[in-house]
Amino acid sequence: MLQQTRVAAVIPYYERFLSRFPNVAALADAPEQDLLAYWAGLGYYHRARNLQKAAQAIKQSGSFPDTYEAIRRLPGAGDYTSAAVASIAFNRPHAALDGNVLRVLSRVYADGTDIAAPAGRAHFRGIADQVLDRTQPGAFNQAMMELGATICLPRNPQCLLCPVASLCAARQTGRVHEFPVKLGREKSVVEERVFFWVEREGSVLLWQRPQDARLMPGFYELPERVHLPGIQAGELLGEFRHAITFHNYRCRVYEAVPPEDTGACGWVRMRELPQLPVSTLLRKAERLCRRTRTVF
DNA sequence: AAGTCGGGGCC
DNA sequence: GGCCCAGACTT
């Protein structure tokens, strides 16, 4: 859950997820619909599927892997996660390199290597492995990440509070703002999208992404014109913005009467939406429609 | 090496 | 409106 997601955002999801899937076997045997419903809103849904695959592999093998290499073979466990679990849970000497640590290292050493490039990350991994406290790697890794998350902030680093300011090369030379160097950002793309809110007797017309879809498989979505050919737009219910990765969507939602041909869409009872995997975009539209419509 | 995947919070 | 987050995987 913590992959590319802030701790504060994860905590409520983590609590609910663990109360529903309290152990490896429970997660391994969970219905896909449940898994996605409990992850819905967190984003990066391949993480949920990989986590379940990992649980199934662990259940199959009979024990939790306790080395970096064995953890690294689990689906969804890359360099960072494998090092974090191996060091924190099993005291294995592997440096965990996340966005926080990259920032701390680049500042402490005033190192202008591009942290966005794979080669740059390999460069910093070499440094991290050298400075790692091999007697308490878990504590060291967490200290590095915590320093980056609380003191060595991206935009307003709290250098006056920093316990290692005296050995920070960037601080000593007054160049903290120059680090880290991060190149090659994509520009965001603005796109207009029109959705239709078709409601009848407590149900709403939705389509479901195929289970084998690459993007958000199994999720319910609000239909656009392509899903309901010949649909007549009624009143504009409202609009909102929805940004996903580098797409910036301007979304408008129109009310519409049920068409004769509902195409690939189906009626979904609105009361059941909370238990279904539903995209955040649909949740935003739902809130919009609850506000602007007179529901009875 | 580059492209892609969500969503939210902060400035 | 842009940036970044306790990254990983595919192409």
Written as tens digits, the pLDDT of chain A (296 aa) is 999 999 999 999 999 999 999 999 999 999 999 999 999 999 999 999 999 999 999 999 999 999 999 999 999 999 999 999 999 999 999 999 999 999 999 999 999 999 999 999 999 999 999 999 999 999 999 999 999 999 999 999 999 999 999 999 999 999 999 999 998 766 677 888 899 999 999 999 999 998 888 888 889 999 999 899 889 999 999 888 888 878 888 889 999 999 998 988 999 999 999 899 988 889 898 888 876 665 43
Chain C bases under 7 Å from protein CB?
1-9
Q: Is A164 exposed, middle or buried (0-12, 13-18, 19+ CB in 10 A)?
A: middle
Residue–nucleotide distance: A156 CA to B11 C1' (Å): 10
Residues A97 and A169 in one domain: yes
Residues A151 and A206 in one domain: no
Residues A152 and A223 in one domain: no
Residues A196 and A168 in one domain: no
Beta carbons within 8 Å of A268's beta carbon, 6+ residues apart = A203, A204, A205, A206, A220, A276
Classify residue A85: in a domain, yes or no: no
Provide the pLDDT for residue A185: 65
For residue A174 the two structure tokens come to 């007054």
Question: Which of the listed residues A185, A213, A230 is the one where a domain comes to its end?
Answer: A185
Residue–nucleotide distance: A197 CA to B7 C1' (Å): 23
Residues A98 and A193 in one domain: no
For the stretch A149-192, pLDDT in tens is 999 999 999 999 999 999 999 999 999 999 999 987 666 778 88
Chain B bases under 7 Å from protein CB?
1-9, 11
Classify residue A141: in a domain, yes or no: yes
Provide the pLDDT for residue A119: 92
Range of the domain at A205: 189-292
Classify residue A122: in a domain, yes or no: yes
Mapped onto helix, strand or coil, the DSSP state of residue A133 is coil
Residue–nucleotide distance: A249 CA to C3 C1' (Å): 18
A5 touches strand B (CB under 7 A): yes
Residues 58-77 of A with CB under 7 A from strand C: 75-77
A6 touches strand B (CB under 7 A): yes
Residues A179 and A205 in one domain: no
Classify residue A201: in a domain, yes or no: yes
For the stretch A18-38, pLDDT in tens is 999 999 999 999 999 999 999
Say which CATH number the domain at A227 has. Answer: 3.90.79.10
Residue–nucleotide distance: A229 CA to B10 C1' (Å): 41
Question: Which of the listed residues A150, A185, A220 is the one where a domain comes to its end?
Answer: A185
The pLDDT mean for chain A works out to 93
Classify residue A88: in a domain, yes or no: no
Q: Which nucleotide is nearest to A190 (CA to C1')?
A: C1
By C-alpha distance, which of A182, A178, A150 is closest to A164? Answer: A150
Residues A153 and A231 in one domain: no
Residues A287 and A219 in one domain: yes
Classify residue A128: in a domain, yes or no: yes
Q: Which helix (H) or strand (E) holds A241?
A: strand A236-244
Domain count, chain A: 2
Classify residue A160: in a domain, yes or no: yes
Classify residue A35: in a domain, yes or no: no
Prediction pTM value: 0.84
Q: Which nucleotide is nearest to A5 (CA to C1')?
A: C5
Distance between start and end Cα atoms, chain A: 38
Residue–nucleotide distance: A159 CA to B10 C1' (Å): 19
Residues A201 and A118 in one domain: no
A43 touches strand C (CB under 7 A): no
Residues A202 and A217 in one domain: yes
Say which CATH number the domain at A171 has. Answer: 1.10.1670.10
Residues A179 and A193 in one domain: no
Residues 56-115 of A with CB under 7 A from strand B: none
Residues A181 and A194 in one domain: no
Question: Which of the listed residues A185, A219, A246 is the one where a domain comes to its end?
Answer: A185
Provide the pLDDT for residue A296: 38
Residue–nucleotide distance: A258 CA to C3 C1' (Å): 42
